[in-house]
Amino acid sequence: MCGIVGYIGDKDACKVIVEGLKRLEYRGYDSAGIALLREKHIDVTKTPGKVSKLEKMVSGLRPAKIGIGHTRWATHGEPNTVNAHPHTDCSGNIAIIHNGIIENHSSLKTKLTSLGHTFKSQTDTEVLAHLIEEFYSRTENLEMAVRLALKDVNGTFGIVVLSAAEPDVLVAARRGSPLLIGLGDSENLIASDASALIRHTRDVIYMHDNEIAVITRTNVSLKNLDDEAVEREAEHLTFDLEQIEKGGFAHFMLKEINEQPETVLNAFRGRLIDDEGVSKMGGLREVEEKIVNARRFVILACGTSWHAALVGKYILEQYAQIPVEVDYASEFRYRNPVLVEGDVVWAISQSGETLDTLAALREARQRGVPVYGIVNVVGSTIARETDAGVYIHAGPEIGVASTKAFTSQLAVLNLINLLVARRRKTITAEQGKEIVEEMHRLPGKIRQILDNTAQIEAIAEEFKESRNFLYLGRGVNFPVALEGALKLKEISYIHAEGYPAAEMKHGPIALIDENMPAVFIALRDSTYDKILSNIQEVRARKGNVIVIANEADGRLKELAEHIIEIPETLEILSPILSVIPLQLLSYYMAVKRGCNVDQPRNLAKSVTVE
């Protein structure tokens, strides 16, 4: 989720690029950088922090007619100056900006190092600069060098490359990360989204996967990576800036809900070994023994991340057969928690900055146990202060109500479960393979849910005036009930409670009447028969029932009016699907009630106070 801008033309490239990067900052703002080409020489300026910092550093530089710039959302390597883009080759004559992840970067780095290349950063991107350098020394043609280099690359990329020896061209290529070319009058631009171009032109060509573009001041030539010409008509953009930044969605929250097929895929990317039915996570490699041999896991988190931790407890206890304790970070730090040798502590945090989680992990480290992180924001304080960890790679989450980070946290907890369960031999290779296969199918199943939202919107319309909601689930979907209730409270200000469905009889059932909707998660899993009885108990008291169910569930059809169907999957993966209709339900309720979805009252995206 980084932002990319390239410019060639008669204007001051530096100004055009910096202004474009500012528009792209919602894609990430860990660090920023620019490479400008003048008189066959490339000058690179980069800095940690926001584009405004870069802007100050480059003000007063001599104008250039061609350049590339980047605002980074870190995935590999902390957000400091060396890891900021653009990256350069050994000679400094090739500069590159990149959005995406190069999965085979470590093997490429080993190979390139043996050929004499010297690396400056910890990023995956830098290998591309050296790989292109390697092919450039043989071809002396930037387009050809980029094409040959990309043949060796696994993973995703949106790249723009500059060569001091070819001062009149930008070469761009895409696989999996967006890029579009803006067509101007004696100038052309390229960017990862239209908001960076629209001040200069509204005529654009969207690049497709596996395409390469050679862009000069007056011409754009598009080919596929097999060197065959591609013809594509330019499109004229008519929408406004705000719409573009939200990718055409009305709110960031809806955009982020819709990103989940990709974000879950990104959490799994490069971490599944299909034929062995196991997972691997680079960030845990060195501490794998400690994790596998742990006597107990203690997971610390707040808010939505705490709900993810609870799901983790169900999964890990069932499959990896490891005792798991889940604690609110704020409670843990003020108790006198007993941690003993063999305990492994995990801190889960989207932002990596939540003060209570940070304080709790410091408390745990002081007691001498290892602490590992499951974090979204690379280089954040929690990521830095844990002994090791896994990034969830969900990209920047802007909407205050967490959505895509939750499903990515669940994806990573499942990866950890798979690793530990296989290594502890509590599941067989066959079972592991079945889990891996189903993990590959998840993004498609999420997409299926997102393609059918009309019914959820209609349910929101019907219940938008309700004052209270009950969310009920069992087993691995009990924490999902908690998360569904939290989402509703957070953005639509309707009181909602989540409960384990059977616990309802010990109190909440007293609240049920015709004005109290109850949302059940009733999937065909190990708790199915029991939860059907719980639904009947609510129906008998005239409660309105909304059910998240598996497709074609005849038994449920007789029990409930409102059934939202989701595809079947393994029980341990089912929360990744069952939470999505609940995110959408809260979203549509909030919109219909006229609430500020992306910035709900009194809340903060990251709580850095006690």
User: Which positions are catalytic?
Assistant: 2, 605
Q: From the list 165, 429, 458, 603, which residue makes contact with ligand G6P (rule: CB under 6 A)?
A: 603
300 binds ligand G6P (CB under 6 A): no
Nearest approach, Cβ of residue 480 and ligand G6P (Å): 14
Q: From the list 123, 260, 266, 349, which residue makes contact with ligand G6P (rule: CB under 6 A)?
A: 349
In the region spanning residues 437 to 456, those forming contacts with ligand G6P, defined by CB under 6 A, are none
Residue 341 backbone dihedrals phi, psi, to 5 degrees = -60, 135
Q: Is residue 536 exposed (0-12), middle (13-18) or buried (19+ Cβ within 10 Å)?
A: exposed
* E strands present in 435-558: 468-473, 495-500, 517-522, 544-550
Residues 6+ apart with CB under 8 A from 128: 87, 96, 98, 102, 149, 153, 157, 159
Binding mask 301-320 for ligand G6P (x = CB under 6 A): -xxxx---------------
Separation of alpha carbons 480 and 307, rounded Å:
7
* Amino acid at site 233: E
Closest C-alpha among 383, 365, 396 to residue 259:
396
351 binds ligand G6P (CB under 6 A): yes
Q: Between 229 and 609, whose beta carbon lies closer to ligand G6P?
A: 609
CB count within 10 Å of CB 400 equals 18
Q: How many residues bind ligand G6P (CB under 6 A)?
A: 15
328 binds ligand G6P (CB under 6 A): no
Separation of alpha carbons 68 and 163, rounded Å:
11
Nearest approach, Cβ of residue 395 and ligand G6P (Å): 14
Q: From the list 83, 156, 402, 544, which residue makes contact with ligand G6P (rule: CB under 6 A)?
A: 402
Q: Which two three-digit tokens encode residue 192? A: 């990862």
Q: Which two three-digit tokens encode residue 123? A: 């990023």
Separation of alpha carbons 325 and 315, rounded Å:
12
Nearest approach, Cβ of residue 357 and ligand G6P (Å): 5
Q: Between 184 and 373, whose beta carbon lies closer to ligand G6P?
A: 373
357 binds ligand G6P (CB under 6 A): yes
Q: From the list 188, 350, 381, 417, which residue makes contact with ligand G6P (rule: CB under 6 A)?
A: 350
Per the omega criterion (within 30 degrees of 0), is the bond before 86 cis?
A: yes
Strands of 31-38's sheet in order across: 41-48, 31-38, 66-72, 3-8, 188-191, 180-183, 203-206, 235-236
Angle between helices 454-463 and 574-592 (to 10 degrees): 50
Separation of alpha carbons 541 and 512, rounded Å:
6
Separation of alpha carbons 210 and 284, rounded Å:
32
In the region spanning residues 478 to 537, those forming contacts with ligand G6P, defined by CB under 6 A, are none
400 binds ligand G6P (CB under 6 A): yes
Residue with nearest beta carbon to ligand G6P: 303
Q: Between 234 and 607, whose beta carbon lies closer to ligand G6P?
A: 607
Q: Between 188 and 354, whose beta carbon lies closer to ligand G6P?
A: 354
Binding mask 227-246 for ligand G6P (x = CB under 6 A): --------------------
Rg (the chain; Cα; Å) = 25
Q: Between 304 and 583, whose beta carbon lies closer to ligand G6P?
A: 304
Q: From the list 354, 403, 417, 574, which residue makes contact with ligand G6P (rule: CB under 6 A)?
A: 354
Region near ligand G6P per CB under 6 A, out of 292-300, 349-357, 383-391, 441-449 = 349-357
Q: Between 490 and 553, whose beta carbon lies closer to ligand G6P?
A: 490
Region near ligand G6P per CB under 6 A, out of 113-121, 157-165, 345-353, 432-440 = 345-353
Region near ligand G6P per CB under 6 A, out of 108-116, 226-234, 519-527, 599-607 = 599-607
Separation of alpha carbons 425 and 414, rounded Å:
16
Region near ligand G6P per CB under 6 A, out of 43-51, 247-255, 296-304, 309-317 = 296-304
Q: Between 157 and 406, whose beta carbon lies closer to ligand G6P?
A: 406
Q: Which two three-digit tokens encode residue 320? A: 């990896």
Region near ligand G6P per CB under 6 A, out of 192-200, 320-328, 572-580, 602-610 = 602-610
Q: Which two three-digit tokens encode residue 497? A: 């409670």
Separation of alpha carbons 65 and 12, rounded Å:
6
Q: Between 99 and 354, whose beta carbon lies closer to ligand G6P?
A: 354
605 binds ligand G6P (CB under 6 A): yes
Q: Is residue 219 exposed (0-12), middle (13-18) or buried (19+ Cβ within 10 Å)?
A: exposed
Q: Between 263 and 351, whose beta carbon lies closer to ligand G6P?
A: 351
CA dihedral of residues 337, 284, 341, 315 (deg, nearest 10): 60
- Locate tokens 């109190």: which residue? 507
Say if CB 342 and CB 296 are below 8 A apart: yes
Region near ligand G6P per CB under 6 A, out of 194-202, 211-219, 299-307, 580-588 = 299-307
Residues at the interface with ligand G6P (CB under 6 A):
302-305, 349-351, 354, 357, 400, 402, 603, 605-607
